[in-house]
Chains A and B, each alone.
Chain A
Amino acid sequence: MIWNKLYSAFGQTRGFLRTIAALALISHGLAAAQTTDDIDQPAPVDGGTVVVGILAPRGEAHALTQWQSTLRALDEAIPRASFKPRALTLDGIVEAVAEGRIDFVLTNPGQFVLLGTPYALSWLATLRSNPADSAREALGSVLLVREDAPYTSAQQLAGKRVVAVHEQAFGGYLLLLPQLESAGINPGALDLAFLGYPVDALLYQLRDGQAEAAIMPVCMLEQMAAEGLVALEDYRPLMSRGKLGGCLASTPAYPDWTFAALPHVSEALAADVARVLLDMDGAGTTRWGAPVSAARVATLFDDLRLHPLREPLLDRLVDTLRRYWHYTLFAALLLLGALLYHAWIQRQAHRHSRALQSTQLALRERERELASAQSLSVSGELAATLAHELNQPLAAIRHYAEGGRLRLERQTPDSPLLEPFSRIGKEAARGAGIIEQARQWIRREPPAIERVALDGLLRDAVALTEPRVRRLDIALDWTVRPADLAARGNRLAMEQVLSNLINNSLDAFEADRRVGWIRIDAGYDADTAQVRLTVADNAGGFDTERLSQPFTPLDSSRAEGLGLGLVISRRLMQRQRGTIDIGNHARGGAEIRLTLPASTEDANP
């Protein structure tokens, strides 16, 4: 079955899915049931063998004996039908009615109320067990203990074994339940055992000490005593409400048993049966009266939340689903579709976020690469600067030493100071040699020259500085014309230069707490076959002192920083056979011009 497959397919997923599949299953099952009902429409029963389902609280033999007179009267009065009794238990009656295996039912009013509405039973007559009493007050329950038992109230039964017939037995557990609850006893506190029919067994267990109390229909004890089975004085009731029809009772009285017809019985037959029942009169025969209201039973069930018209929510839902199974199926499919769509969307979102994450990672990787290149450049530049600056005094020392030695040699050729003078010169040379070695060691390989597409270069360089640009609220724009412009240079070095220049601008904006713009334009100069890059801002520009010596290291206009940005940029540009040139533009800002040889290679060789 497709639904089963679907169900198992979804079985491992969330509860939500499971619910959907279950709903679909229910609706499908109900649909099948409905279809069966529609097909099997039997003709009304009007004669032949007619089965009367009889509730048999004390067993089949007892039931057949008890109702023998009634069935015989029916058989005699209605020749076209032959009435056959069938003794049933509580569950048996429900099952038989549901499956339509019986035609009439003879049961207690509780069961009639439960079954009556759902299965459209027709109420024909109410039993009059004792003609002296009212048919409206015939049934009840009694909670019996042994006469010699220590119990004086029902509360003392907590944890004790209490026997009953069935949790749905009307003249028994069901009637006693509200009494127990109103007495403040939780039925769960009792050690309840439901033994089923016959009822006699309950009393025997009580008698034999196998149970401490028994919940029985009223008059059952009295009947059994009259039959000589037990002794009446051996038992006493708890929660006594006096006598009911001369019997011990623990509950109010409810209407007597009912004779009812199932809906497939013809109206004529039902009317004939009712007439016969009402006409039955005479000693030794069962007497029947007009049906009495079962309203009090319904009220009781209401209290117990058992009323058939007050079905639990689930039942009502199932019923609705059964009625509108087409819509249910459609809704289930729609839901399934929506669910799949949702899953698809989620997958897309997941994939998208993964892609975003990897872009983020790549960007961070670039940042790291750039930072490491920059720090290498910084250390290289620092070493070069240090080497130069230290070399100067060393040169001076050597010059003085040599100059002094020359003079001394001329005046006093055998002076003992000649040797130290010579040593001073050599030591200075050695110091310079060490510095030079260190500088050579730090100096990096010339960068590999490759094709660098300007569009991608600027996009990445801008992305790398984007967080800071956004934080300082700077408008950073860039253009590349033509769009496929490419230079010959080193990608990482160019990123380093651009990021240095952009960061210089941002430093200037930040220092002045200014907001403004940065523009980067890349174009092609046909005369020189060069790529020209201009980085401009409106952060005030360079002062004249800086402009006169722009590439002097260790001369930063910033409080922090080494002032190496421009020096490094120039060295990087030189290494790529490019140029860098700084200046101011007329609108109050810096303008840095870069050139690189243009690439003539194809974008996709």
Chain B
Amino acid sequence: MISALPVHLVDDDAGVAEACRYLLEGLDLGVTYWSSGEHFLAGANLHEPAAVILDMRMPGLDGIAVHERLRAGNACLGVVILTGHGDVDLAVDAMKRGAVDFLQKPVSAEALQQALATAFERARDNAAHRDISARAEQLSDREREIARCVSQGMTNRTIADALHIAVRTVEVHRARVVEKMGAANSAELAALWQRID
């Protein structure tokens, strides 16, 4: 099993939430409980990779609405929605909007575990993507050009010809780009750049 991330649990029904927390802790997961969508959005660190379990039916902001806000805020959380009703329309809708899973209560430990595993993966992915993007933001226009060329597998000479600059200049830029992007070598840089481009 992939290493665990923190789990946020958002449910207005404290009894059910407590039971769910008991189950999640049985799976050795760290759980933070929120009694409403509003509380969760206001109090949780939405940029730290984590999974969130949203109850569908809640007064005020319901599960769908909270999910919507998370998307709008570029949060990197992996989202699992729990519902009392197997409402197919709502489930399809939520999955389209990027929810990891849509589970019907009462959910089994196994199903929950699988959903959370996917959510963690998604959260890490989201976080990595966000990191790479942030580093790419710091590159100069010229460096970004060269990074794109490298990711396409071009040699230094080809790049120099294409950009009408000296091969030496290409070599200097390329070394700086690899360093700024935190890559070990040109091959890793190419892999990183392909994820965001």
A interface vs B, CB < 8 Å? 384, 387-388, 391-400, 402-407, 425, 428-429, 432, 436, 439, 548-549, 552
**In the complex, how many residue pairs between chain A and chain B have their CB atoms under 8 Å apart?**
82
Given A388-B57, A392-B16, A436-B86, A399-B106 contact (CB < 8 Å): yes
Given A388-B85, A392-B16, A398-B106 contact (CB < 8 Å): yes
> Could you mark each residue 1-18 of chain B with 1 if its beta carbon is under 8 Å from any beta carbon of chain A, else 0?
000000000000101101
Given A399-B19, A400-B22, A429-B108 contact (CB < 8 Å): yes
**How far apart are the CA atoms of A392 and B13 in the complex, in Å?**
8
**How far apart are the CA atoms of A429 and B107 in the complex, in Å?**
8
Point out the residue from B13, B25, B59, B108 that lies within 8 Å of A549, measured CB to CB.
B59
By a CB distance below 8 angstroms, the chain B residues around A388 are 57, 84-85
Interface contact A395-B59, CB-CB below 8 Å: no
Interface contact B108-A400, CB-CB below 8 Å: no
**How far apart are the CA atoms of A387 and B87 in the complex, in Å?**
13
Interface contact A425-B85, CB-CB below 8 Å: no
Interface contact B26-A403, CB-CB below 8 Å: yes
Interface contact A391-B106, CB-CB below 8 Å: yes
Interface contact A548-B59, CB-CB below 8 Å: yes
CB of B44 closer than 8 Å to a CB of A: no
**How far apart are the CA atoms of A436 and B85 in the complex, in Å?**
7
Count residues on chain B whose CB falls below 8 Å from chain A CBs. Answer: 23
Interface contact A404-B26, CB-CB below 8 Å: yes
What 8 pairs across the A-B complex have the smallest Cβ distances? A399-B19, A406-B26, A398-B106, A395-B106, A403-B23, A396-B19, A402-B109, A403-B26
Given A388-B57, A403-B26, A403-B109, A395-B19 contact (CB < 8 Å): yes
Point out the residue from B20, B23, B85 that lies within 8 Å of A406, measured CB to CB.
B23
Interface contact B25-A429, CB-CB below 8 Å: no
By a CB distance below 8 angstroms, the chain A residues around B59 are 548-549, 552
By a CB distance below 8 angstroms, the chain B residues around A399 are 16, 19-20, 22-23, 106-107
Point out the residue from A391, A403, A436, A549 that lies within 8 Å of B22, measured CB to CB.
A403
In the assembled complex, the CB of A158 is this many whole angstroms from the nearest CB of chain B, namely 104
By a CB distance below 8 angstroms, the chain A residues around B20 are 395-396, 399
Could you tell me which residues of chain B, from 9 to 68, have a CB within 8 Å of some CB in chain A? 13, 15-16, 18-20, 22-27, 57, 59
Given A392-B16, A393-B15, A395-B16, A406-B106 contact (CB < 8 Å): no
Interface contact B84-A397, CB-CB below 8 Å: no
Point out the residue from A393, A403, A428, A439 that lies within 8 Å of B85, measured CB to CB.
A439
**How far apart are the CA atoms of A425 and B107 in the complex, in Å?**
9
Given A388-B84, A549-B59, A397-B26 contact (CB < 8 Å): no
In the assembled complex, the CB of A604 is this many whole angstroms from the nearest CB of chain B, namely 34
CB of B105 closer than 8 Å to a CB of A: yes
By a CB distance below 8 angstroms, the chain A residues around B24 are 403
In the assembled complex, the CB of A431 is this many whole angstroms from the nearest CB of chain B, namely 9
By a CB distance below 8 angstroms, the chain B residues around A407 are 26
In the assembled complex, the CB of A542 is this many whole angstroms from the nearest CB of chain B, namely 15
Interface contact A392-B84, CB-CB below 8 Å: yes
**How far apart are the CA atoms of A425 and B109 in the complex, in Å?**
9
**How far apart are the CA atoms of A25 and B146 in the complex, in Å?**
126
Interface centre among B57, B84, B106 (most CB of A within 10 A): B106
Interface contact B23-A432, CB-CB below 8 Å: no
Interface contact A425-B108, CB-CB below 8 Å: yes
In the assembled complex, the CB of A443 is this many whole angstroms from the nearest CB of chain B, namely 10
By a CB distance below 8 angstroms, the chain A residues around B105 are 391-392, 394-395, 432
Interface contact B84-A406, CB-CB below 8 Å: no
By a CB distance below 8 angstroms, the chain B residues around A429 are 106, 108
Interface contact A398-B86, CB-CB below 8 Å: no
Of all chain A residues, the one with the shortest Cβ separation from B86 is A436
Interface contact B108-A402, CB-CB below 8 Å: yes
**How far apart are the CA atoms of A439 and B83 in the complex, in Å?**
14
Interface contact B106-A403, CB-CB below 8 Å: no
**How far apart are the CA atoms of A387 and B27 in the complex, in Å?**
28
